[in-house]
Amino acid sequence: MSNLIDEQSDRDSLDSISRDERSKYIICVLGATGYVGGRLVPQLLAKGWRVRAVGRSISKLKCRSFASHERCEVAAADLFDSSSVLNVLSGCYAAYYLVHSMQGSGGDFASKDRTAAHNAVHGAQESGLKRIIYLGGLIPDDPYISHHLQSRAEVGEILSSGKVPCTIFRAGVILGSGSASFEMIRYLVDRLPVMITPKWVQTETQPISIRDVVYYLSGSLEHSETVGDAFDIGGPFIETYERLFRIYQDEAGLHRRLIIPVPLLTPYLSSCWLGLVSPIPLGLARPLVMGLRNRVVCKDYRIRNIMPCELTDCRLAIRRALDKVQQQIVDSCWSDAGAINNPEWAVCGDAGYAGGTVFHTTYRIKLEGGRENLWKYILGIGGKNGWYSWNTLWKIRGLIDKLFGGVGLSRGRRHPENVMIGDALDFWRVIDVQSCERLLLLAEMKVPGEALLEFTLDQEGDNKTVLTMTARFLPRGVGGLAYWWSVYPFHSLVFKGMAKALAENSSCKIIDGPTLVKGDGPKCHLPKV
């Protein structure tokens, strides 16, 4: 009875909040750097709320466009640390839970999701939070549902088990520029004139536009009827995946694709194939494909009466997504999500006896010209621009990475000219950007160790710039040592060619180099454990 009274009180207080008063209430978004979170935060700010955008990396959050908004504050939290969760929820009126561990490498993502959800429930109760709003997945009428869908449903049950009322929105395929589902469709149809597909190509689904997802999520704060309830959300039509392929084919102006469903392709083989032809890594492709076997459609449409809107059909959603991709103005991307794992050894200075030595190769070139022009081309590296030199070697390395289940080069980059901390850049992740001074990339390809690639610019006098390019590698075991020495002979070709190409593109005259720097700079060592 007390829970019902509390819930009714929350509904009454919700109804009493006018638009002018919203700036007094802090709305916490857990997972603000993810695909949905990155689009939800600006919408909440536009509606007048005060927002606390939360992610695992404060530097990654500060690079987002919403971070500079006067009513937005950014905060870092680890959902596996209950005290960290309590800190970011303190003082908040409501919290959006947009976090899941499907992209995590290694371990059981369902177990991680359970831990994070329990910590969120505890933090919500201790902080006096009034509402939790969670985006989960549509639950199929099938006893054999995928591990991924089971986990999303379980998280919803955990979040609803506490004293704080939880609103659950359940969505299936989300269509929008940068979404994993859209990228899967785009790369399969773009690259395969003949598609040998598994039986799931005939599975029915009810896709929803990312715009409509954000509409429901943001608008639920204004509708007391949504407190403590669960709703299915989907677009206006039920489609098959084959139909989605056909719609994309038409909107992209492609020749008709030959689609041949066969019963022999298992979900495992399908995920391997998807990982090979698309930028989606095997670790994400596998749970994604496993979920495609299930028919996921809405079972109730109550939300359409509570929050009426003109829903976006699949054709318009795909058309809008294609427009944004072609204009290169993707707001957020599936690859944005995830922690930035900046290696401890990236900070050099420990004594030589402290641990294992980090191998490094450094090339340096002195140019005539200011840093600003050269910096523009360094920021433009990767993606469609390529790596300026020996692109065939880069493509071969990307293909090898794909064959071993990595992300390869097809992930590209979010924007053709600018990069932010946390951006994916081919098979690298941007972990530091200092304008006209430094770009630091962390390797996310499959390697027996950890690798960094660094570009630094130093001004000498009024019109001279020194470009330094450094590759660092911490090997793991004998395989790591073998890997380093096998790729070492190619460093000279790649770095010298890249340095000369950067000089040529920026119209900077070469004064000296590029030359290999021997014994220069501090030695990097693995800190003692």
CATH number of domain containing 9 = 3.40.50.720
The tokens for 81 are 């640390």
For residue 294, how many C-alpha atoms fall within 13 Å in the half-sphere facing its CB?
23
Q: Please, what sign has the CA dihedral across residues 354, 357, 358, 363?
A: positive
Residue 256 to residue 193: CA distance in whole angstroms: 8
> Do 329 and 348 reside in the same domain of the chain?
no
The residue among 415, 477, 426 whose CA lies nearest residue 453 is 426
Using the predicted structure, report yes or no on whether residue 262 has a pLDDT greater than 50: yes
pLDDT category, 236, cuts 50, 70, 90? very high
Whether 48 maps to a domain, the answer reads yes
Using the predicted structure, report yes or no on whether residue 244 has a pLDDT greater than 60: yes
H or E segment and range at residue 374: helix 371-379
Is the model more confident about 225 or about 424? 225
> Do 465 and 321 reside in the same domain of the chain?
no
> Do 413 and 269 reside in the same domain of the chain?
no
> Do 254 and 197 reside in the same domain of the chain?
yes
What per-residue confidence (pLDDT) applies to 106? 46
> Do 239 and 221 reside in the same domain of the chain?
yes
How far is CA 411 from each of CA 187, 295, 340, rounded to the nearest angstrom?
10, 28, 17
Residue 49 to residue 329: CA distance in whole angstroms: 25
The tokens for 165 are 């009322």
Using the predicted structure, report yes or no on whether residue 332 has a pLDDT greater than 70: no
Whether 21 maps to a domain, the answer reads yes
> Do 256 and 387 reside in the same domain of the chain?
no
The total of structural domains in the chain comes to 2
- Listing from the earlier edge strand, what are the strands of the sheet with 509-516? 424-425, 428-434, 438-443, 449-460, 464-475, 359-368, 509-516
Residue 309 to residue 499: CA distance in whole angstroms: 54
The residue among 131, 199, 187 whose CA lies nearest residue 164 is 131
What per-residue confidence (pLDDT) applies to 529? 31
Q: What's the rounded mean pLDDT across residues 312-319? A: 93
> Do 323 and 432 reside in the same domain of the chain?
no
Residue 461 to residue 221: CA distance in whole angstroms: 57
Pairing of strands 438-443, 449-460: antiparallel
Domain of 105? 2-336
- 224: helix, coil or strand? helix
> Do 137 and 215 reside in the same domain of the chain?
yes
Across the strands, what pairs with 130? Answer: none
The residue among 339, 348, 327, 315 whose CA lies nearest residue 244 is 315
Using the predicted structure, report yes or no on whether residue 2 has a pLDDT greater than 70: no
The tokens for 249 are 């084919």
- 118: helix, coil or strand? helix
Highest mean pLDDT: which range of 44-58, 434-448, 509-523: 44-58
Q: What's the rounded mean pLDDT across residues 221-235? A: 94
Q: What's the rounded mean pLDDT across residues 416-444? A: 85
> Do 390 and 479 reside in the same domain of the chain?
yes
How far is CA 135 from each of CA 118, 155, 230, 460, rounded to the nearest angstrom?
16, 10, 10, 53
Whether 147 maps to a domain, the answer reads yes
Q: What's the rounded mean pLDDT across residues 235-262? A: 90
7-11, 175-179, 325-329, 521-525, range with the lowest pLDDT: 521-525
Residue 494 identity (one-letter amino acid):
V
> Do 396 and 256 reside in the same domain of the chain?
no
At a CB cut-off of 8 Å and minimum separation 6, what does 482 contact? 448
Whether 419 maps to a domain, the answer reads yes
> Do 389 and 299 reside in the same domain of the chain?
no
Residue 489 identity (one-letter amino acid):
P
What is the rounded average pLDDT for all residues in the chain? 82
- Contact assessment for residue 102 and residue 140, using Cβ atoms and an 8 Å cutoff: no
High-pLDDT (> 90) share of the chain, %? 34
Residue 189 to residue 208: CA distance in whole angstroms: 20
Q: What's the rounded mean pLDDT across residues 149-176? A: 92
Whether 523 maps to a domain, the answer reads no
Residue 262 to residue 270: CA distance in whole angstroms: 11
The tokens for 501 are 């190409």
Residue 60 to residue 97: CA distance in whole angstroms: 19
Whether this prediction's pTM lies above 0.75 is answered by no
pLDDT category, 161, cuts 50, 70, 90? very high
Using the predicted structure, report yes or no on whether residue 355 has a pLDDT greater than 90: no
> Do 462 and 492 reside in the same domain of the chain?
yes
